Amino acid sequence: MSSHQIQLWLWVSQPVLQSALAVVLFRRKLHKTFPIFFTLLLTQIVLFGFQFSVYQWSNRKVYFDVFWISMALNLIIEFKILHEIFLDVFRPYHALKDLGTALFRWSALIMILVSVVVISMSPGWDDPLIKTALVAHRCLRVIQCGMVLFLIAFSKPLGLSWRRQSFGIALGFGTLSGTELLTNALISGSHISQPWMNVINMTAFNAGVLFWLVYACLNSSEARVPELVPQRWDDALMDLRPQSEPESLIPMFEHMVDRAFSQAQDNHA
């Protein structure tokens, strides 16, 4: 069997696995807990139908444009899923949730800035959309790997069970991200060909969907008891907020970051 046939088989199997996962999430009412993750599954199923039709009955250029536009859309949704996972992990801790929201906003800004810098340093500006999507895609994969490492490192102090659905979603994305970063490094060194790189990445994606399916079938609805360490973090952040401030701490965190940047610029001046 050629690499092209393997790619086609893996590609066609993706919406089947995603449909099964979406059904399980809906039946177990997990789509209410992770609405953005559920939206990603439905979006990718719809995009597959459109992409496959273009692949079969249109020219290569049209399919190429559709592929990169779809990737850009997936990037936006996947980045919001990272925020969704973070909010689920720190659900009992309001201050930590606000801090996470502020950090993810700055992470999105940094991704955009990195994309602009890389594109400006490129020889040509022929396909700015493609270059932006590619750079942002790699930045997102690095952040997803970092999210997994964070959950593994802090699972014990956070009291995060490995059976928790958010942990499974993060591990699935982490596996896919690590595989793609590895294959990108291998193909840059000419150690593998492009077709087999696609086969490895698509296999990792299907394995990730199966991983999510197993987690979705697990009973992860046990009650959560707040742990002492994150509760202390949350209390400390709440103490930083003036009593007259609104309930959300996001403006305070953003003001702290802006003040830090201003001081850094004054020191360099």
Mind listing the pLDDT tens digit for each residue in 73-126?
Answer: 888 898 889 888 877 777 766 656 666 666 666 666 666 666 666 656 655 555
pLDDT band at 18 (very low <50, low <70, confident <90, very high): very high
Rounded distance between C-alpha atoms, residue 181 and residue 192, angstroms: 13
Rounded distance between C-alpha atoms, residue 200 and residue 192, angstroms: 10
Count other Cβ atoms within 10 Å, centred on residue 7: 17
Phi, psi of 92 (to 5 degrees): -75, -10
Count other Cβ atoms within 10 Å, centred on residue 59: 8
| pLDDT at residue 144, as a whole number | 79
Q: What is the mean pLDDT of the chain?
A: 75
pTM of the entire structure? 0.73
Burial (CB count within 10 angstroms: exposed 0-12, middle 13-18, buried 19+), residue 263 = exposed
The CATH number of the structural domain formed by 3-239 is 1.20.1070
| pLDDT at residue 193, as a whole number | 86
Domain boundaries, the chain: 3-239
Strands (E) located in the chain: none
| pLDDT at residue 194, as a whole number | 84
Over 80: is that where the pLDDT of 252 sits?
A: no
| pLDDT at residue 97, as a whole number | 62
Rounded distance between C-alpha atoms, residue 141 and residue 173, angstroms: 8
Rounded distance between C-alpha atoms, residue 83 and residue 92, angstroms: 15
